[in-house]
Structure 1
Amino acid sequence: MKQTLPRLKYEAKMGWALIFGRLIVGWLDTHAAEVADIDLIVGNPTSPDRRPQHLEAIMRAARDANALGRWPIADPDKPVLTKTGTTTASAAPGAAWQTKWTAAEQHAAAIDVGSAVNGASVLLVDDVFTTGAQMATVSRLLRQHGAREVRGLVLARAPWR
């Protein structure tokens, strides 16, 4: 994961999105009892200026892999969460925790939330969990927009340093 996620995010090696999307659906299938009550599965949106739109590509691949429609993965062509502007990068190497938290708050503030979250139990998907700041701030945003609960699912966790 240490090499493959950066290849997708920064080098546009888009084949990895297909693999990661399938991994998400495989995880859902093997943890069905834990997520049976989820109403909506959405990706933490990528900044509009970032190419590729890696998380959107992963979620599109997950939706495609969900051929039987077992999981309520949001339609990537009708996004529930849309990041409307560029914000400070939260993954700056060596950044202090407060810097990452501030970047995460900016990230959440730049997201438009669709009405589909109102009353829903939401599974928020992200690529890497470093400090948890983005997951926390976007989860809070979803709750403010009426989500009943928010759970998180990440592809990888950054090692503690």
Structure 2
Amino acid sequence: MEFLRRGLSRFAGPIGRLLYPPVCAGCGGALAAAPAVCPDCWRSLRFIERPYCEVLGLPFSYDLGAGFLSAEAIADPPVFARLRAALVYETLAARMVASLKYADRADLVPLMAAWMRRAGREVIADCDLVVPVPLHSRRLLSRRFNQSAELARAVARAERLAYAPLCLRRRRATRSQVGLGPDERRENVRGAFHVQAGREGEVRGRRVLLVDDVFTTGATVEAATRALKRAGAAEVDVLVFARVAAGAR
């Protein structure tokens, strides 16, 4: 059986590449290997590198010194400890999020999760448990999968971390956050999340890494963080694929 398995795996790669040739995650152009993006699409991506706000991961245009916080983090401190994002939410990064969320492009998950792991080295190193931001059951039924859960699963698997996709639930169906202002977003998700009864032990006393696809105003991850803390989480950090830049909310 082992000989047969090795033989099949030897041919599966070439056959798969013949039937489904690797293409750029951005423009769909041919590539030598996947998952990846072509040089032209790569230049359109704005990766978030230091210097950035130590709390909100908001990129600075110049270095303001170690531990410097953004005006946003000082004026309105979040309930989570730290947020890290791989990219600024614009151009190709925004299209990748939309493709994963609305066009069933699950093939983008390995690439997106790899970039998230790179951006989130600190928070990943400190976490005990990975938890995705959940969808309500009705929305999950219409979309067929939760994009945040797929990203969280890929991060947890690659980092060999505990993964708890069912402990945090969305107790009511909320309106889409698209088009809502900051106050409307906060009200929309207020009290929307809870840790399922009987699963509190999964988060109690643990450092949780909460995973979502995009950070805009922070209303969703703040509401989810409060639910995790009510269940006894010691600390909550947030890891997302992309976040809006300052003034772009």
Q: Identify the TM-score tier after normalising by the shorter chain.
A: 0.7 to 0.9
The whole-number CA distance in structure 2 between the counterparts of 1:106 and 1:112 is: 14
Counterparts of residues 85-100 of structure 1 (less than 5 Å) = 85-90=172-177, 92-93=178-179, 95-100=180-185
SS of alignment partner, residue 187 of structure 2: helix
More moved, 133-142 vs 55-64: 55-64
- Kindly state the Cα deviation for residue 153 of structure 1 after the two structures are TM-superposed: 1.2
| Aligned AA (1:55) | S
Contact 2:191/2:223 (8 A) holds in 1: no
Confirm or deny that 1:55 pairs with 2:148: yes
TM-score, normalised to structure 1, is 0.79
The whole-number CA distance in structure 2 between the counterparts of 1:75 and 1:101 is: 25
Give the equivalent residue in structure 2 for 1:101. Answer: 186
RMSD of the alignment, in Å?
2.2
Confirm or deny that 1:44 pairs with 2:136: no
The whole-number CA distance in structure 2 between the counterparts of 1:74 and 1:89 is: 26
Counterparts of residues 123-138 of structure 1 (less than 5 Å) = 123-138=209-224
The whole-number CA distance in structure 2 between the counterparts of 1:152 and 1:59 is: 11
Contact 2:174/2:192 (8 A) holds in 1: yes
Contact 2:129/2:164 (8 A) holds in 1: no
The whole-number CA distance in structure 2 between the counterparts of 1:41 and 1:61 is: 10
The whole-number CA distance in structure 2 between the counterparts of 1:37 and 1:53 is: 25
| Aligned AA (1:141) | A
Q: Deviations over 1:43-94 (max 9, x none)?
A: 111232231321122222223433xx2xx24054xx222335422222x22x
Q: Do the aligned partners of residues 75 and 135 (structure 1) sit closer, same or farther apart at CA in structure 2, a change above 3 Å counting?
A: closer
Q: Do the aligned partners of residues 143 and 132 (structure 1) sit closer, same or farther apart at CA in structure 2, a change above 3 Å counting?
A: same
- Kindly state the Cα deviation for residue 42 of structure 1 after the two structures are TM-superposed: 1.2
Percent sequence identity is 28
Give the equivalent residue in structure 2 for 1:112. Answer: 196
Q: Do the aligned partners of residues 107 and 12 (structure 1) sit closer, same or farther apart at CA in structure 2, a change above 3 Å counting?
A: farther
Gaps in structure 2 of 5+ consecutive residues:
1-92
Give the equivalent residue in structure 2 for 1:140. Answer: 226
Give the equivalent residue in structure 1 for 2:7. Answer: none
Contact 2:171/2:193 (8 A) holds in 1: no
Gaps in structure 1 of 5+ consecutive residues:
none
TM-score, normalised to structure 2, is 0.53
- Higher-Rg structure is 2
SS of alignment partner, residue 36 of structure 1: helix
Larger RCO, structures 1/2 (Cα 8 Å, 6+ apart): 1
| Aligned AA (2:175) | T
Confirm or deny that 1:3 pairs with 2:95: yes
The whole-number CA distance in structure 2 between the counterparts of 1:89 and 1:127 is: 14
The whole-number CA distance in structure 2 between the counterparts of 1:106 and 1:44 is: 14
